[in-house]
Amino acid sequence: MPLSRSEQMARIKRTDTAPEVMVRRALWSRGLRYRLYARTPAGRPDLVFPASRVAVFIDGCFWHGCPTHYARPRSREEFWSTKLIANIDRDARQSAALVEAGWRVVRLWEHEVVEDLATAVDRVAQAVGGGVRAWPEQRRVRRVIEIGNRLERRELVVLSAPDVVVEVTEGPRVTAKARMIKRYDGRYDEGRKCTAE
């Protein structure tokens, strides 16, 4: 018997996801030591470097509104829209509070980790080494509204300025997200590349 939607969603991991584990292993192999989910002035990031005051978040494309891969759910649209807006508002508040407290914030999309792990790890290493204090101007999907004839209107926001909304109208998206292929020995290989149309 197939799982209900609630059962499927309950099985999604919050911690120790494949992208998180990939980043942690790569950082550890470079000699960078971190703490997992340690308390900071604004929440518990995925990775924390307390001595250099760096917080690293690895954001899932669906849960945090990736502009390339976010696909609007077809059921319970109001619930999911409200959830997405709340997630993005929380991300913006956390990042701003950390920067204000003198921390460096690194936000990585899960597809960035899968597609180019070395670049993602370089960004973290640069921040730990005293790089840029502010997080990048990441754009996020805040809401998607179907306007008919297979067109969608997307509201995009920049995480550092969530009150500024830009509307974009486009057709349906292909959300072929980068995937990891689990090998027989339990390690992960890079799968398909990101090919959003």
CATH T-level topology, domain 5-137: Endonuclease; Chain A (3.40.960)
Sheet strands (E) in the chain: 35-36, 47-49, 54-59, 104-109, 139-148, 151-158, 161-170, 180-182, 188-190
Which of these, 14, 20, 43, lies nearest to 108 by C-alpha position? 20
Residue 191 has what pLDDT?
Answer: 45
φ, ψ of residue 140 in degrees (nearest 5): -135, 150
The set of residues, in sequence order, having a beta carbon less than 8 Å from that of 149 and lying 6+ positions away, is none
Half-sphere exposure of 36 (CA within 13 A, CB side): 11
pLDDT of residue 177: 57
Collapse the DSSP code of 26 into the 3-class scheme (helix H, G, I; strand E, B; otherwise coil) and give the result.
helix
| Per-residue confidence (pLDDT) for residue 190, from 0 to 100 | 47
pLDDT in tens, 35-92: 998 999 998 999 999 999 999 999 988 888 888 888 878 778 788 888 898 999 999 9
DSSP lists the bridge partners of residue 116 as none
* Distance between CA atoms of residues 5 and 189, nearest Å: 29
d(CA 64, CA 15): 15
Beta strand pairing call for 104-109 and 54-59 = parallel
d(CA 152, CA 146) in angstroms, rounded, equals 4
| Ranges of the chain with pLDDT below 70 | 5-6, 8-14, 132-136, 170-197
What are the distances in angstroms from CA 64 to CA 38, 72, 186, 196?
21, 12, 27, 17
